[in-house]
Structures are given as C-alpha cells and as structure tokens.
Chains A and B, each alone.
Chain A
Amino acid sequence: MQRRDFFKKAALTVGAVGLGATTAKAGTTHQPTDNRKVSKNTFPEKRPLITYSDRPPLLETPRDVFTSVLTPNDQFFVRWHLPDIPMHIDPNTYHIKINGLVEKELDITLHDLKTNFEQVEVTAVLQCGGNSRSAFSPIAGGIQWGNGAMGCATWKGVRLRDILDRAGLKKDAEWIGFNGSEKAAYYETPSFIREMEIEELDDHVILAYEMNGEDLPYLNGYPLRLVIPGNYSDSWVKMLSNITVTKKYKSLFFMDVAYRVPDNECECEEPEKKFKTTKPITKMNVKSIIGYPTTGMTLNHNSHTVIRGLAWDDGHGIKDVMVSVDKGKTWKKAILDDGKLGRYAYRAFRFPFKPSKYGELSIMTKAINKLGEEQPFAKDIKWNHGGYKFNGIDEVKVKVV
C-alpha cells in the first residue's frame, strides 16, 4: 500500500486499525495512526478522549493538546492493566505501608505524608513505553496507541528517599517492590507490581499526591502514585498501596515479560526470529510531537502560520528542534521556550512559517538532545515485538489553499 493511501484510507475510528500493518512483510515501521477521533463518552474527571477500552480504561490524548508544556489533568492519558480499579478511596483512611527489609515498618496516612515530610515538586513527562505502537508492522502486541499515550505535569509529593530513610533500610536491602491497588478478575492473574533496584533511585523519584495543583484524578492514580522522571511510565505505579523492600528480585510477569525490548544494541529483532534475551525499557529516548497544525487541516497560502509542538528526552535536555517542510530534505531550527520547568519537562517549540506552495504539505519535526542523539525517520526505526520506544521524526500533512 502506498503511504498516501495509508493516510487517505485511514478514516478510522478506534474500531478499525491495522491498515497497512498487515500487508507489510516483516519488521517495518511508519508514522503511527494519527486520525482517531475522541469518543462521545466521558470518563470521570476527564474531557472526551480517544477511547480504546472502558474496562480497564484506556484513554489517549488527542494531538492538538500537545502545544502546551503542561497537559491539563482532564486531558491526560489513562492506562490501567487490570480490570478492577477501586472507585472510591477515602483520603482520611487511606494509608500506605512500607515493609520488608526495613528497621521500622511504616504505615503512612495521606495527612502524614502532607505534613510530616518535606514537600517537593517536579515537572516531568509521563509517557507509556508503548506510545506510538501503531507505527509497527506487523502489529506489535498491545494497545495500538497513536502518539498521545503521554502527558506532562507538575507533580507534588514526597521523596521516596525520605520515606525510605524514615523507615531505615537494612543492610542487605537491594530491591523495592511497588504495589498498585488494581485487581484482576482472576485470583491467579499476576498483580501489578513493579520492582526497582535501590541503586536506580535518585532524589527525583517521588510519591505524588498532586498533579498540576490539584488532587490526582482517580484515573491517574488517586490518591498517590510513583513518579520516576525520565523513565517510561510502566513503573509509575498508580494508587500505591504498599512498598516492600527485599534482598532478592522477585520474578514477576509485569517485570520479566512485559515492557521489555531485545537486549542488543539496536533493540530490534525480526518478527519471525525474535531476539532471545530482553531488557527493561527504562529511560525515554529523544522525541518530538507537532501539536499544531494537525493532519487534515487546511492552511492559507502565504498566510503567517506558527507551527507548535513539544520535545523531550530522559532528562539530558533538548538542544534543538528542527523543522522540515520539504519531506526531510532541509531542516531549520525552531525557537525553543525558556525551559524553566526543568529538564524532565516538555520543551515547547514554535516555528513561524509562511506556506508558499499550494497543495499537500508535509511538516516534520526532529528533536536533538544535549548528547547529540536525534530522532530517526519513522521508517528507520527498527522493529521490536512489543512495539516499544518508537521515536520516529514526527510528521503531519496539511493542505495549502
């Protein structure tokens, strides 16, 4: 199928994806699906979003939200793994336990957390490791996200380190397990537990109860979630119920099987010949998104337009965002915002531009971070079975009239 057809034919609802995906022979990538509409249904504390499932809830943020550095809470994407989520939590009785290899077990209420610990804030991007998964052909297992399984918020809470210091880690403590409160339909289904090595934890990791100055929305993990700036969101456990310190790594489904990429340099493999060993996805790679204009829009000939969007990486920081209006032949620098929300936040970019040719126009953006890492073209991303870490150069197509 021609790429042009891909866009034309893909007048999609969430109900019919995978065009192009099934005709490709093996292991290719392309622009993710980009024209899904928001649903008529609204979820608690959310505006209408692109809706993949109600049980468990899976909601994607539409592209046009990605012009501002902070994503509004009511448009922030939602991803749960298991169907049974507590739908009522009393903030006065909610508490979190810290146990395992600690000198003193703790049982902390929300009130304790807000009054007996130093309160800190961090602005950080939360992005699903499978964001943009619909870019992979053949189809990679999992939700076929477009580009909006992500957002950025200012998170307020308490340093995990401070809590662990209060509990006192025993000498042989090496791993920390985080339990969420979501439950499966069957008792035997693995619980959503994530583990981190104590070494991996820095002072930026917090237990957050507030998002952009408000309580966390229920669907984003009320009343408390883990925030691990720079890392994909698979370990940002929501509705935290328990933190357990252990010596040994426990073998768990959501650690050993899910959220892993091939353990080789390209992190890639062939669909018919999967790479034998895998590693966790952890740090985010450099990426950008165009928030305005969006595909299908019409721009006026010779009229001043400002292309806007966002760029981010794992905290090394964005150096430049380059824009191309000739399908990637030539690139020009966009103007970056002041970056004052810190290195884990989105950087907003803008690019004043006057379309001088009539007809179809492709707009592409490429972010480059301070390490010099830059986004490859979408077609040059290598395939992996989980459809993780896609960071192809972004592209929207508009018409100039």
Chain B
Amino acid sequence: MKKLILIALLALSPLVAQVDEKVEVPYIDFPIKMGKEFATVQGQCLMCHSFGYIINQGPQSRKHWKHIIHKMKVAFKAPISDKDAKIVEDYLVEHYGNGK
C-alpha cells in the first residue's frame, strides 16, 4: 500500500528542475587593452558579445579586423555607423594588430 501511494505521489508531482530558479552566468572582466576611443569600442562590441571574442582572435591584420566588423554589420545587422566602424577598426589594429 505504501508503495502504491508513493507511486501515485510520484506520478502527480510536478516536474522538478535540477536548478529550480534563475541561473546566473558570471561576468568576466576580459583584459582588453585600454586606449583612446575605448568608449566607442565598448559601446559597439559589448552590445552583443564579450571582449573574449576579440582577445581570442590574437593579433591580426587590418584586413582581418575590417572583415570581422563587416561581418558584424552585414551578417549580424549590428547598427554600427561607418564612422564608428572605422574607429573600432583603428582601435583593433592599434591594440590587436600584427603590423600588416
């Protein structure tokens, strides 16, 4: 009988999630290099993704960074103005460029 009750209770009990409340993803302060026009870079890039994405690419050519910004605008529809796109490009080339 006890067993039957237990089975009945199990069948009726609502589903319980492993984590039954809001989960929190930690904020990570990726060590991006600081410089002039940082506010623009922060405003444009951080809207959609962490600085981890930038740092992880390693030092790259101007062509590479230009292409990435283009991808953000065209593929992902980030509303970055031409003026800001150039500012971000110059910033990335200055701090994460490889001299090419």
> Which residues of A are in contact with B by a Cβ distance under 8 Å?
14-19, 21-22, 39, 41-45, 51-58, 82-83, 85, 87-92, 110-111, 114, 138-139, 141, 143-144, 184-186, 188-190, 214-215, 217-218, 222-223, 253, 257
The B51-72 residues at the A interface (CB cut-off 8 A) are 52-53, 55-61, 64, 67-68, 71
B8 within 8 A of partner (CB) = no
From residue A352, how far is it (CB to closest CB) to chain B in Å?
38
B49 touches which one: A53, A89, A190 (CB < 8 A)?
A: A53
Q: Is the CB of A218 within 8 A of B15?
A: no
A45 touches which one: B16, B19, B71 (CB < 8 A)?
A: B19
> Which residues of B are in contact with A by a Cβ distance under 8 Å?
14-19, 21-28, 30-31, 47-50, 52-53, 55-61, 64, 67-68, 71, 75-79, 98, 100
From residue A251, how far is it (CB to closest CB) to chain B in Å?
13
Interface of B is mostly: loop
Q: Is the CB of A54 within 8 A of B76?
A: no
Q: Is the CB of A51 within 8 A of B52?
A: yes
Number of A-B contacts (CB under 8 A): 127
CB contacts (< 8 Å) of A111 on chain B: these are 15
Given the interface pairs A42-B26, A91-B16, A185-B48, the reply to whether A22 lies near B31 with Cβ below 8 Å is: no
Q: Is the CB of B25 within 8 A of A55?
A: yes
A184 touches which one: B15, B68, B76 (CB < 8 A)?
A: B76
CB contacts (< 8 Å) of A143 on chain B: these are 53, 56
Given the interface pairs A22-B60, A139-B64, the reply to whether A92 lies near B77 with Cβ below 8 Å is: no
Q: What are some 21 contacts across the A-B interface (CB < 8 A)?
A: A14-B55, A18-B60, A19-B58, A41-B28, A43-B26, A44-B23, A51-B28, A53-B28, A54-B27, A54-B52, A56-B49, A83-B48, A88-B23, A89-B17, A92-B14, A141-B67, A188-B79, A189-B78, A222-B17, A223-B17, A253-B76
